[in-house]
Amino acid sequence: MKLNGAQILIDCLKSEGVKHIFGYPGGAVLHIYDALNVCTAIDHILVRHEQGAVHAADGYARTSGKCGVALVTSGPGLTNAVTGIATAFTDSIPMVVVSGQVPSPVIGSDAFQEVDAVGITRSCVKHNFLVKNADDIAETVKKAFYIATTGRPGPVLIDITKDATIAETEYEGYPQTIKMRSYQPEVQVDAEQIKKAIAIIEKAKKPIIYSGGGSVIGNASKALTTLTHNTGFPITQTLMGLGAFPATDKQSLGMLGMHGTYESNMAMHDSDCIITVGARFDDRITGNLEKFCPYAKIIHIDIDPSTIGKVVGVDVAIIGQVNDVLQALIQSLDTKKLENIDSWWKQINDWRSVDSMAYRTKQGVIKPQTVIEALYEVTKGEAIVTSDVGQHQMWAAQYYPFDKPRRWINSGGLGTMGFGLPAAMGAKLADPDRDVACVTGDGSIQMMLQELSTMLQYHTPVKIININNGYLGMVRQWQEFFYDKRYSMSYMDALPDFVKLAESYGHIGIKVEKETDLKPALIEAFKQKDRTVFIDILTDPTENVFPMIPSGAGHHEMLLAGRDEMASTNDSGLNLV
């Protein structure tokens, strides 16, 4: 069958099972849009900014587990997409981004809307391709999806020149399979390593499971839950891992790290056996590396060998799909007798009784933590919650216990402000029957506001929970702690009237200034099943995120709200990023 390159591309995407594409047209992709226009199998979501397209595809991928797809034009289309691509890359999200490129004869001539897309994205994609020939499109698309979705997932960019989309060629259909000699993501779990891990686990008197984003992305929630229940071990989860194991289960100690719970961090510090599941010892988790887990033997399960030993030396590394490895561990542990860990649990429960998430309420002021607790109550813990980046992100993670994976959608690795709203739109398209809440702040929301327009056009009703404290709160908090309260550029003057703003985009706006109005407003908002509602909530402008591992400290040196004083400016605080 003779087709042009654009038609081949669209047929490939259709054959790959793509149902939604988030994109924005432009000169270099007009042929692709022409072919897309007659394709009924794929819905195209016309965003208002290419960064929004990629974040929406990202939210769609995180919610559904499928590969997200975005389509952008050359030049500024691509450069606008880069922040979204880097966000997906840092959090290992499967995604294929197609970008237009100027015609191949003019590449390198500084043509209109020309940038070196492959060069610009090289360090923030799992792989990228430049396609200059229509004959190469089908195989490249197959490779791109294969690479994006297997092994440690990640975004793949296909940059296609306009002439390749115009040229007609013989198309023999989308390839069924693909083999690449330089990429073999299938890994067999090494039985020898399992044996070594079991030997450590058997002797553990103070074990803990430390689970990360790999448990969510690797769909290992069930196996993780079984292992945790079968062993009776306590479990702590990273920001990216929340929901893989139910937060309301009594074996869950909550999040760990900089703003984790006291019991999680103390247990990590005192543990003699840490089972690391799909996590990468991020600096937000470890605190001061010299004080990190001094007594523990560490078992590290990960699909990516380069995460092993990158930050922290480990005793046993098990490379493989998290789910496969957990199954192997469950099976091997079946016949084993573990140490009695009653005294360990007693110790942990003592730490728990410290109640590190307690916060002081203040008459006449809405506490941001209260907002998240009310959101949890009103949605019965069943909503998908996306977030932007900053204090509100931490409060959402701390005060909304997630019991299921793929319900908590946030930019944990790159920390991209502006992620939350488009991600919520993607999440709603992936799971239209579920309530979606975007927890955001007055700083973050203004980075992607324009997507309110897309949300009306494509009818993706979400509830925007704006924790409005008038500050770039996390910046303000660090300036308070580490810069002697010199609040440089962290106060946002001249905020818009968010209610009118929402209304001008055709949505509902509600302003909440009193705590007594909070829950009724949320109930009313979630009643509006078919409408996007922007709930602008004025919260305590000086509230800080606690507990906190101060700079340069170890897990056992956490500071608690209202009980410890944060030491002011110090050298390690100034060096924090």
Partner 1 sequence: MLENEAGALSRVAGLFSARGFNIESLTVAATNDPTLSRMTIVSVGDDNIIEQIVKQLEKLIDVVKVVDLTATEHVERELLLVKIDVNPNTQADIDRQIDQFSGKIIDVSEDTYLIEVAGQSKKINEFLDSLDASKILEVSRTGVTGVCQKREG
Where on the chain is the footprint of partner 1 (CB under 8 A)? 118-119, 122-123, 126-127, 130, 147, 180-183, 304-306, 308-310
- In the complex with partner 1, the residue whose CB is nearer, 294 or 305, is 305
- In the complex with partner 1, the residue whose CB is nearer, 183 or 478, is 183
Q: Are 261 and 357 in contact (CB under 8 A)?
A: yes
Amino acid at 27: G
Q: Are 258 and 287 in contact (CB under 8 A)?
A: yes
- Given 3-state DSSP classes, what are the helix, strand and coil percentages for the chain, each rounded to the nearest 5? 40, 15, 40
Q: Are 103 and 161 in contact (CB under 8 A)?
A: yes
- In the complex with partner 1, the residue whose CB is nearer, 182 or 363, is 182
Burial class of residue 304, CB neighbours in 10 A (0-12, 13-18, 19+):
middle
Nearest to 429 by CA among 463, 474, 453, 460: 460
The DSSP code for 450 is: T
Given 474, 479, 482, 515, which residue is catalytic? 474
First to last CA, the chain: 55
Q: Are 333 and 231 in contact (CB under 8 A)?
A: yes
DSSP string of 288-329, one letter each residue: SGGGS-TT-EEEEEES-GGGTTTSS--SEEEES-HHHHHHHH
- In the complex with partner 1, the residue whose CB is nearer, 107 or 357, is 107
Q: Are 5 and 165 in contact (CB under 8 A)?
A: yes
- In the complex with partner 1, the residue whose CB is nearer, 126 or 392, is 126
464 by DSSP, 3-state: which? strand
Query: Which DSSP helix (H) or strand (E) runs through 72?
Result: strand 68-72
CB of 182 to partner 1, least distance (A): 4
The DSSP code for 434 is: S
Tokens found for residue 165: 């989309």
468 by DSSP, 3-state: which? strand
- In the complex with partner 1, the residue whose CB is nearer, 127 or 367, is 127
Q: Are 169 and 2 in contact (CB under 8 A)?
A: yes
- In the complex with partner 1, the residue whose CB is nearer, 47 or 317, is 317
452 by DSSP, 3-state: which? helix
φ, ψ at 528 (rounded to 5°): -80, 75
Given 1, 112, 222, 362, which residue is catalytic? 112
Give the count of beta carbons closer than 10 Å to the beta carbon of residue 326: 30
Given 19, 113, 404, 528, which residue is catalytic? 113
CB of 305 to partner 1, least distance (A): 5
Sign of CA dihedral 106, 111, 117, 118: positive
Give the count of beta carbons closer than 10 Å to the beta carbon of residue 2: 8
Tell me if residue 363 is catalytic: no
Query: Which DSSP helix (H) or strand (E) runs through 422?
Result: helix 420-430
Nearest to 164 by CA among 34, 9, 2: 9
- In the complex with partner 1, the residue whose CB is nearer, 227 or 314, is 314
- In the complex with partner 1, the residue whose CB is nearer, 182 or 335, is 182
Tell me if residue 162 is catalytic: yes
Tell me if residue 425 is catalytic: no
- In the complex with partner 1, the residue whose CB is nearer, 136 or 543, is 136
CB of 189 to partner 1, least distance (A): 18
Tokens found for residue 397: 């993670």
Tell me if residue 474 is catalytic: yes
φ, ψ at 12 (rounded to 5°): -60, -45
Given 7, 16, 22, 50, which residue is catalytic? 50
Tell me if residue 170 is catalytic: no
CB of 552 to partner 1, least distance (A): 22
CA distance 411 to 416: 6
Amino acid at 361: T
**Beta strands at 2-4 and 168-170: parallel, antiparallel or unpaired:** antiparallel
Catalytic residues: 50, 112-113, 162, 474
